[in-house]
Structure 1
């Protein structure tokens, strides 16, 4: 069987990293936090409350696709936490590995805003949530993906995502 590549996506504060690390633990897929691939200039811009432009994002997205491609070539499946808010961004991510599945964690802005306000040590300010929600383009019919409700517990989100992916790999 070939490799699998999963991007857990959504706005900041939706629980992408929690769900992606849970999927990695359940499946043994290599995990990556897309935020860690941002150049320092992008991080500084977001920390200052300035949304990134597409020009800021293209090289970052290409690097994420390259990371998945390198893992695929090594025979390793991956799961990544990445906002992937627009279809064009997801198209770049899909340009690397043989295929990419998306898990969109979506739902109430109020739930997400509460979670963001409770986080410590994250550079993304709550003030950028509305711009992220406005930017989010839902998965389209030709994109392999599932939408999960942000109001669910992290454990239930992981369980539903792993079930949608077909369960943990068997030996």
Structure 2
């Protein structure tokens, strides 16, 4: 199981303005990811949260970029890509991952990477932050983005 040895990144970020950009595919998994992200933001003291739904994971980078350019302190990208029988999985996974990295580097705004790339539905459900899940990738994406935001602010 992945996730072993994950750091505790509990963080305070009251006053931060955060957008959650979440894919529309795989409703049950996405509901878990979004819920985990929202709880992590509340735990961090973040009250200015915008939630928007993207058509799919491929569209996450351009929508995240738009929010990053609008002055948000962090953007949380949530999506699910399940491997199928065609190369589509590799193309979408690589494009979304590379695009999200580029958005962060080009804008200087932390992007919480909550894009699940799984072999099957069971792996995605196990990472979705649902009651029977072993991991909560929505929470982890928020904690990483807010920790990065705080580190960058300390450097400024």
TM-score by length of 2: 0.43
Q: Which has the higher contact order (CA 8 A, sep 6+)?
A: 1
Bigger share in strand? 2
Larger Rg: 1
